[in-house]
Amino acid sequence: MKKETICVQAGWKPKKGEPRVLPIYQSTTFKYDTSEQMGKLFDLEEEGYFYTRLQNPTNDAVAAKIAQLEGGIAAMLTSSGQAATFYSILNICSAGDHFVSASTIYGGTFNLFGVTLQKMGITVTFVDQDASEEEIAAAFTPTTKALFGETIANPGLAVLDIEKFARVAHSQGVPLIVDNTFATPINCRPFEWGADIVIHSTTKYMDGHASSVGGVVVDSGNFDWNAIPGKFPGLTEPDPSYHGLTYTESFGKMAYITKATVQLMRDLGSIQSPQNAFLVNLGLESLHLRMPCHCSNAQKVAEHLQQDERVAWVHYCGLKGDQYYELGQKYLPNGSCGVITFGLKGGRETSIRFMDNLELAAIVTHVADARTSVLHPASHTHRQLTDEQLIAAGVAPDLIRFSVGIENVDDIIEDIDQALEKAY
Q: Where on the chain is the footprint of ligand PLP (CB under 6 A)? A: 80-82, 106, 108-109, 150, 154, 179, 181-182, 201, 203-204, 213, 215
Q: Is 299 in contact with 318 (CB distance < 8 Å)? A: yes
List 144's β-bridge partners, or say none. 98
In the complex with ligand PLP, which residue's Cβ is closer, 210 or 254?
Answer: 210
Q: At what angle do helices 57-70 and 274-284 cross, to 10 degrees?
A: 30
Q: Is 127 in contact with 102 (CB distance < 8 Å)? A: yes
Could you write out the DSSP letters of every residue in 220-237? -S---TTSSTTS-HHHHS
Instruction: List the one residue out of 61, 109, 69, 44 whose CA is nearest residue 261.
Output: 44
Min CB(182)–ligand PLP separation in Å: 6
Instruction: List the one residue out of 350, 356, 349 whose CA is nearest residue 374.
Output: 356
Determine the residue with CB nearest ligand PLP.
81
Min CB(49)–ligand PLP separation in Å: 25
In the complex with ligand PLP, which residue's Cβ is closer, 353 or 366?
Answer: 366
Min CB(287)–ligand PLP separation in Å: 16
Min CB(179)–ligand PLP separation in Å: 5
In the complex with ligand PLP, which residue's Cβ is closer, 215 or 283?
Answer: 215
Min CB(338)–ligand PLP separation in Å: 12
In the complex with ligand PLP, which residue's Cβ is closer, 179 or 398?
Answer: 179
In the chain, count of helices (H) and strands (E)?
Answer: 19, 12
In the complex with ligand PLP, which residue's Cβ is closer, 68 or 154?
Answer: 154
Min CB(242)–ligand PLP separation in Å: 29
d(CA 260, CA 255): 9
Instruction: Indicate the SS3 state at residue 70.
Output: helix
In the complex with ligand PLP, which residue's Cβ is closer, 212 or 248?
Answer: 212
